[in-house]
Each structure stands twice: as structure tokens, then as C-alpha cells.
């Protein structure tokens, strides 16, 4: 076995591993963790699942914890531009101004070599080879353990019950964001079925924070909490008094005032971030019950300083260019609500690329009333819908739509930019798998002033 010596070699090895395997239990993941000496067992964790909003909540909560002085392990997926985005640590002692950093080349190479060696021993013992996601998760928890993280905020990859992250046995808190339709081939074709998979992360005697949901979905979580003797807390959005945009020292914030007189600000301008923010604030308050000392100032500053690339992010002005990871029915609806929230009834130029497994007609249906023109693209994924087929599908829904297919992501962006004038709005959406290429082109991490 040749030793992995570069970060590119490490990433190429990881990406060479099969993504999926049939799974009816977590037994194979647990065996893998045992071979690694169970690095996850001594980590304090916040475990987050849901259909939309998971990543945003991970970063709101993580930033509040970091501001409170904790060393925080942060695990998310997928990445936007760089693989190392998936595994991060937040620590004020690292850099008070930029406390969140990605796993470095040396650590990624070391742990990839270590995990590969363990896998070879497993396979020689007749055990199953782990999946790609399981390997990345293993590298993450090994890294977090080595770095002595005080607490980790872990995002589920898909579902919950059978997700590799669900080897976490005693989470301090389970956070369940908005439930919608996605990955139905694996999770089920009704919201209660999907909710049942998400509810699988709930363990014995833990606190559970839930986004408001329909009665039949709520019943699933109530029953799971009764079964596990856990406490269920449903977030109350009725406490929101008003939301507005404010400017402080040249930086725009979305300000949310609650009926108790408190006010929080976020640099993330999407309308749906109001609800992610309130979920995260409630999560931090619940963590106080477990000895996690998040003071009011750190909570406020943590929320205020949170940014989450690729989630309704403006990467250019004149014309305004937005990128958003909306990749399912509910996400696309929320994106359109955010565009209307900022631009009213202004028509939008869309760059659209979607994976073939999605509810494509429903996703397209949300943007058609807002579309001035659509440029279709093919995301860089084996599961991508061909851009030309997407164009044809759009025309089958509405033959009057102005829609063109583009051979590459950059051609889509260039065509949209050439078509637009400085007063237009361009929005690239439909899949997280390609918006990173557009973000990298503009090379920005800052939001426009609204």
C-alpha cells in the first residue's frame, strides 16, 4: 500500500470509494467505528437533521458556541468549493477574528492514511468496506477527538435513522429542522415516513428541538419522544414581532425583533433565515440546561456573525447575482419567497441545474412565475439531469418560457451576464453541486448591502 502524501491524493482516495450500499441497520458502521476504537464516543454532540435549514442551523449554533469560548467541531455536507469545508473547527484561541478553520492538509493526509489502513484490516477480516460518507465522518470524529473539541455540531448526511452519523449515542441535543420532500427513494414518499427516518436520531432521555410541522408529522416525533423518554420542544415562531433590513457601518443585516423586546441580527438575507435563526437561538438556550454556558452577548454576537456560503448569497452587484443551494421542492419555494421578499414582483434571470432524482416539475413550477429567462445547465454529478432535457421539460410545462440550454456552467453564467443589464437580477439555483463553481468565479465571501 503506497502512503498517501498529498491532499489531492487523500481527496482522490476518498472520492474513489463507493457512495452507497444497502443498509438496514447501523451494524456495519458500528463495526467500522470499533476498528477505529470508537473515537466518537467521548465527544459531546449536537445532532442536526431535517430537510432544509440543517447547515444554517449548524453554523448559527457553532458560532454562538465559539463566541462563548468553546472549541467546536463542525461537520457538514456537501461542500461548495473545497472538500475540506466539510470538516472544520471553531476556536477563538486559533484566531479571534477568523476562529473557524478547515481541516489542514497534514491532518487530512494523516487521518486518511490511518483510516485506509484500518479499512484494509477490516476487509482482510471479511468485513464490509465502508462507504465514502462513513469514511469522511470517521476522519472528522478522529480529527475532532485529536484536537480536543469541547463540543461538536454534526449535520446528518441523509435521513437520520440509518445515517452514519447516527452512531452518536448520547447527543446533548437533537435539532430537527423543517421537514419536506427530498430523497424519497430512500426516506419514503409521505411526510410522516420521512419524519420517521429523521426521528431516528432521537436517543434515550435527550432534548429534542423541532421545527413546527403538520399534525401527522408532529405525531411521529411525539411518539418517538415518548418511546425514548425524551423531551420535545417545538419552536414558536409566533414570538416574532417584525423583521427588517438595517445597515451598520456599511454592512447590511436582517434584524428580527421578538415580542419579548429582544433583537437579533443576521448577515444572511433570505427570508427563511428568520426561522433558522430562531431555531438556533432556541437550541442554544436548551444547551444551557446541559452545562453549556452560552451567555446572552455571545449568543447575539454568534448569530450576528454567521455566514453560510451558497445559501442565498449575493456574489455580484450590477447586476445582482445570487447563488442558492435550493435543491428540492420546499427549498425552491423558500428561495422564491426570499427573492420576492427583497425584489417584490421583479422578474429574475435564472441559471438552473437539477439532479434527476428530484421532484423537478414542482421545483420548476415555483420559479416559472418569477422567470424573465432561464439558462439550463448540467451539474457535475452522475445523478444530474441533462440540461437539454431540463430545457425540454420546462417547455412542456410552459411553452412560452424563454429558456436556453448551456453546455457548461460557465457558459450559463456568461450567457446570463451578457443577457442582463445592470438593473437585472440573476439567480443560480437547483443544486449545491454546481453553485460553488459560480461562487469561485466571483471569488467572494461577502454579502451585498441591501
* pLDDT tens digit sequence for 267-321: 999 999 999 999 999 999 999 999 999 999 999 999 999 988 888 999 999 999 9
What percent of the chain stands above pLDDT 70? 98
C-alpha cell at 190: 409521505
The burial of 319, by beta-carbon neighbours within 10 Å (0-12 exposed, 13-18 middle, 19 or more buried), is given as: middle
Beta strands in 177-335 (DSSP E): 207-210, 231-234, 240-248, 251-258, 263-266, 313-316, 320-323
| Nearest residue to 50 via CA among 285, 280, 294, 360 | 280
- pLDDT at residue number 449: 43
Give 387-430 pLDDT, tens digit per residue: 999 999 999 999 999 999 999 999 999 999 999 999 999 999 99
Report the C-alpha gap between 273 and 255 in whole angstroms: 11
Report the C-alpha gap between 320 and 314 in whole angstroms: 7
Output the average pLDDT for the chain: 93
Beta strands in 277-370 (DSSP E): 313-316, 320-323, 348-352
For domain 313-442, give the fold: 3.90.190
- pLDDT at residue number 44: 98
DSSP 178: B
Residue 147 confidence class, pLDDT cut points 50, 70, 90: very high
CATH dotted code for 7-304: 3.40.1190.10
Residue 447 confidence class, pLDDT cut points 50, 70, 90: very low
What percent of the chain stands above pLDDT 90? 82
- Cβ atoms of 181 and 191 closer than 8 Å: yes
Q: What is the mean pLDDT of residues 234-252?
A: 86
217: helix, strand or coil? helix
Helix 360-367 crosses helix 387-397 at what angle (to 10 degrees)?
70
Taken as a whole, the chain contains a residue count of: 450
Helix 27-35 crosses helix 105-124 at what angle (to 10 degrees)?
110
22 pLDDT more than 80 = no
- Cβ atoms of 434 and 379 closer than 8 Å: yes
Report the C-alpha gap between 384 and 424 in whole angstroms: 28
| Other Cβ atoms within 10 Å of 382 Cβ, number | 8
Give 30-73 pLDDT, tens digit per residue: 999 999 999 999 999 999 999 999 999 999 999 999 999 999 99
- Cβ atoms of 333 and 303 closer than 8 Å: no
159 or 172, greater pLDDT: 172
Q: What is the mean pLDDT of residues 213-235?
A: 98
DSSP for 334-345?
A: HHHHHHHHHHTT
- pLDDT at residue number 446: 43
DSSP for 2-67?
A: PPP-SHHHHHHHHHTS-S----SSSHHHHHHHHHTT-TTTT--EEEEE-SBSHHHHHHHHHHHHHH
C-alpha cell at 221: 416525533
Residue 247 confidence class, pLDDT cut points 50, 70, 90: confident
What residue has cell string 493526509?
A: 109
The number of CA neighbours under 13 Å toward the Cβ of 160 is 25
9 or 356, greater pLDDT: 9
Does 7-304 match 313-442 in CATH topology?
Answer: no
Domain ranges of the chain: 7-304, 313-442
- pLDDT at residue number 304: 94
Give 73-119 pLDDT, tens digit per residue: 999 998 989 999 999 999 999 998 899 999 999 999 999 999 999 99
The number of CA neighbours under 13 Å toward the Cβ of 437 is 18
Report the C-alpha gap between 292 and 105 in whole angstroms: 31
- pLDDT at residue number 156: 97
Residue 448 confidence class, pLDDT cut points 50, 70, 90: very low
Q: What is the mean pLDDT of residues 110-138?
A: 97
352 or 180, greater pLDDT: 352
Amino acid at each position: 500500500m503506497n502512503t498517501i502524501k498529498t491532499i489531492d491524493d487523500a481527496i482522490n482516495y476518498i472520492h474513489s470509494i463507493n457512495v452507497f450500499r444497502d443498509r438496514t441497520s447501523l451494524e456495519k458502521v458500528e463495526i467500522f467505528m470499533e476498528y477505529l476504537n470508537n473515537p466518537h464516543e467521548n465527544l459531546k454532540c449536537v445532532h442536526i437533521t431535517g430537510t432544509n435549514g440543517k447547515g444554517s442551523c449548524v453554523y448559527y449554533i457553532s458560532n454562538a458556541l465559539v463566541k462563548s469560548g468553546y472549541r467546536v467541531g463542525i461537520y457538514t455536507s456537501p461542500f461548495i468549493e473545497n472538500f475540506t469545508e466539510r470538516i472544520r473547527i471553531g476556536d477563538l484561541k486559533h484566531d479571534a477574528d477568523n476562529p473557524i478553520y478547515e481541516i489542514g492538509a497534514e491532518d487530512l493526509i494523516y487521518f486518511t492514511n490511518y483510516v485506509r489502513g484500518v479499512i484494509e484490516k477490516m476487509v482482510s477480516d471479511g468485513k464490509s468496506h465502508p462507504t465514502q460518507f462513513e469514511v469522511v465522518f470517521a476522519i472528522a470524529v478522529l480529527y475532532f477527538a485529536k484536537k480536543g473539541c469541547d463540543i461538536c455540531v454534526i449535520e446528518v448526511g441523509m435521513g437520520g435513522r440509518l445515517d452514519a452519523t447516527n452512531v452518536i449515542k448520547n447527543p446533548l441535543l437533537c435539532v430537527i429542522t423543517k421537514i419536506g420532500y427530498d430523497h424519497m427513494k430512500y426516506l419514503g414518499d409521505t411526510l410522516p415516513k420521512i419524519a420517521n427516518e429523521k426521528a431516528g436520531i432521537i436517543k434515550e432521555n435527550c432534548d429534542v428541538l423541532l421545527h413546527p410541522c403538520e399534525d401527522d408529522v408532529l405525531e411521529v416525533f411525539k411518539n418517538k419522544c415518548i418511546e425514548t423518554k425524551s423531551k420535545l420542544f417545538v419552536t414558536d415562531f409566533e414570538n416574532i414581532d417584525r423583521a427588517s433590513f438595517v445597515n451598520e457601518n456599511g454592512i447590511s443585516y436582517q434584524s428580527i425583533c421578538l415580542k419579548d423586546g429582544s433583537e437579533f441580527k443576521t448577515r444572511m438575507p433570505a427570508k427563511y433565515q428568520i426561522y433558522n435563526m430562531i431555531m438556533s437561538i432556541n437550541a442554544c438556550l436548551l444547551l444551557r440546561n446541559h452545562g453549556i454556558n452560552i451567555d446572552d452577548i455571545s449568543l447575539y454576537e454568534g448569530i450576528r456573525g454567521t455566514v453560510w456560503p451558497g445559501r442565498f448569497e449575493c456574489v455580484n452587484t450590477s447586476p445582482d447575482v445570487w447563488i442558492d443551494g435550493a435543491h428540492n421542492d420546499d427549498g425552491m419555494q423558500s428561495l422564491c419567497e426570499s427573492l420576492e421578499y427583497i425584489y417584490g414582483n421583479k422578474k429574475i434571470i435564472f441559471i438552473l441545474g437539477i439532479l434527476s432524482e428530484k421532484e423537478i416539475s414542482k421545483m420548476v413550477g415555483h420559479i416559472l412565475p418569477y422567470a424573465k429567462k432561464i439558462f439550463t445547465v448540467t451539474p457535475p454529478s452522475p445523478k444530474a439531469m441533462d440540461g437539454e432535457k431540463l430545457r425540454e421539460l420546462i417547455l412542456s410545462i410552459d411553452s412560452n418560457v424563454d429558456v436556453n440550454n448551456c453546455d457548461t456552467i460557465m457558459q450559463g453564467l456568461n450567457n446570463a451576464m451578457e443577457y442582463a443589464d445592470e438593473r437585472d437580477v440573476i439567480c443560480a439555483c437547483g443544486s449545491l453541486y454546481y453553485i460553488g463553481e459560480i461562487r469561485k468565479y466571483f471569488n467572494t465571501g461577502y454579502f451585498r448591502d441591501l
